[in-house]
Amino acid sequence: MRALESEKELANILAEEKGKTVLLFSADWCPDCRFIDPLLPELEDKYQGITFIYVNRDKFIDLCVQYDVFGIPSFLAFKDGLEVDRFVSKDRKTKEEIESFLDKF
């Protein structure tokens, strides 16, 4: 999973990326985020048509505010640069819940 390096990079990704992009808001200290870490390679493999971007909540707090992400781990889904869905909460997410979110995207 590619880690976001700058807000400008995200702006470029959303402006230029055609297709599906999912932002995963997370943090190293978050136990619920660490819970889903082992699932991420499998999800990326299963959903190869989606570009996954890791957004470090501590490094990009302004993006969290901009996108109303106040709980982690959280997922935002974009199609052709426009937000189309979100799975945002402070609750631990299961593999089944994440797959259900990705399946409807």
- Which are the contacts of 1, defined by CB distance < 8 A and separation ≥ 6? 24, 40, 44, 52, 53, 54
Q: Give residue-wise pLDDT tens across range 79-101.
A: 999 999 999 988 899 999 999 99
8 Å CB contact between 21 and 13: yes
Burial of 67 (0-12, 13-18, 19+ CB in 10 A): middle
Query: Exactly one of 4, 10, 23, 33 is catalytic; which is it?
Result: 33
Is residue 33 among the annotated active site residues?
yes
Residue 4 has pLDDT above 80, yes or no: yes
Residue 17 has pLDDT above 90, yes or no: no
**Segment 1-15 mean pLDDT:** 94
Domain ranges in the chain are: 2-103
Residue 55 has pLDDT above 90, yes or no: yes
Superfamily of domain 2-103 in the CATH hierarchy = Glutaredoxin (3.40.30.10)
Query: Exactly one of 23, 30, 50, 98 is catalytic; which is it?
Result: 30
pLDDT score, position 87: 97
State yes or no: cis peptide before 73, omega within 30 of 0: yes
